[in-house]
Structure formats: C-alpha cells, structure tokens
Amino acid sequence: MFSNQKEANSLRGIKTARDEKSINEAARNGFFPLLKRVEKSESIKSKYAVLQNKKTGEIEVIGDFRGGFCSRDYEMVIDFSFYYPHNFSSPFAAYLIPQDIKVGERVYIEDLIEDFIGVRWNQGDTYRLESCEAVWNGKDFDIQYDANQCADFIG
C-alpha cells in the first residue's frame, strides 16, 4: 500500500468526521471539511448463511464454505447470500483538510469515506479498504489505491 515504507512512516494522518457536530467542531478548529457522500459500492460484499437447529430452533450464522455445517441437527434455512456488511450512521462525511497542506503532499487517510476493495477472498467475498495513502491535488485526494491485495490481515 505504501510506495516507500520509510517515507510512509512520516506521512501526515488525515482524519475523517462522520457527523454534523464533529464536522463543525473541526471547522472551528481550523480544518476545512471536504464533504463527500457516503455511497456503498456494489463491489463490496460479504456472504452469510444461517443454520437452524431442528430441535431447539437456535441458529448459527456462518460465512465460510469450508466445512462445519453438515450436521444432522442443523439445516440451512438461509442459503449462502451476499450482502453489504457496513452500516454508516450518516449519509455524508468529510475529510478534515489541514490549512497548511501542500499540493502534491502525500498523506495517510485513516478512515476512507469512499469504498475501495481492500481484500478479495477466493470464496467471492470482497472486503472494504479501511485506510490508504493519498496525494492532495489541491481540490481532493488522489487515493493511492493498490488493487493487488492479498488475503492477509495484519494488526
């Protein structure tokens, strides 16, 4: 994701505000809120299926094709289905632009507003990229998005 790891370590972090109150608070503190619609991408999708115990009625939700759902006691009452797994409370959000940002400055956006695919899994699921490097072009950020993500998670 980073073009250069040593360089990335010193990048300025850009915050995101996701409601009216925090956006206005940031504006009063000298940031310019760059407003964007929160729009879900149809490319982001997770799958689930629901198993139900035939005797007790209890359910189990699974998200993985690999084994574990072939039990005599359980039947699949909702077959594997894909859905958009995120719920953002506000339909808009803003990147908080520092006053001294320079055109061409490379930054690190900690909470992306836009939907980008961060991880593709070979079972068909595509997971949302949470944060990313970006370059300020004077009006907006050019997201330095690397589409060649693997199925690893770190943290």
Partner 1 sequence: MKFNPNTKQLFTNEGDLIKRLHCPHGVNWKDLYHSDAIKKYCHFCGKSIIDTQNLDDDAVIAIVIQDEGVCLKLDLNDPTIRIINHNVF
Residue 114 as a binder of partner 1 (CB under 8 A): the answer is no
Which 8-state DSSP code applies to residue 45? B
Tokens representing 94 are 């803003």
Q: Are the CB atoms for 137 and 106 separated by under 8 Å?
A: no
CB-nearer residue toward partner 1: 8 or 35 = 8
- Sign, Cα dihedral of 118, 122, 126, 128: negative
Tokens representing 90 are 């506000």
Euclidean distance between the first and final Cα of the chain, in Å?
A: 15
CB-nearer residue toward partner 1: 24 or 53 = 53
Within positions 82 to 101, which residues make up the interface with partner 1, using CB under 8 A? Answer: 85-86
Q: Are the CB atoms for 51 and 75 separated by under 8 Å?
A: yes
Which residue of 61, 70, 103, 147 would you call a contact of partner 1, by CB under 8 A? Answer: 61
Which residue of 14, 17, 33, 47 would you call a contact of partner 1, by CB under 8 A? Answer: 47
Residue 121 as a binder of partner 1 (CB under 8 A): the answer is yes
Query: Where along the sequence are the contacts to partner 1 (CB under 8 A)?
Result: 1-2, 5-6, 8-9, 13, 46-48, 60-64, 66, 68, 85-86, 108, 110, 119, 121-123, 125, 127-128, 131-133, 150-155
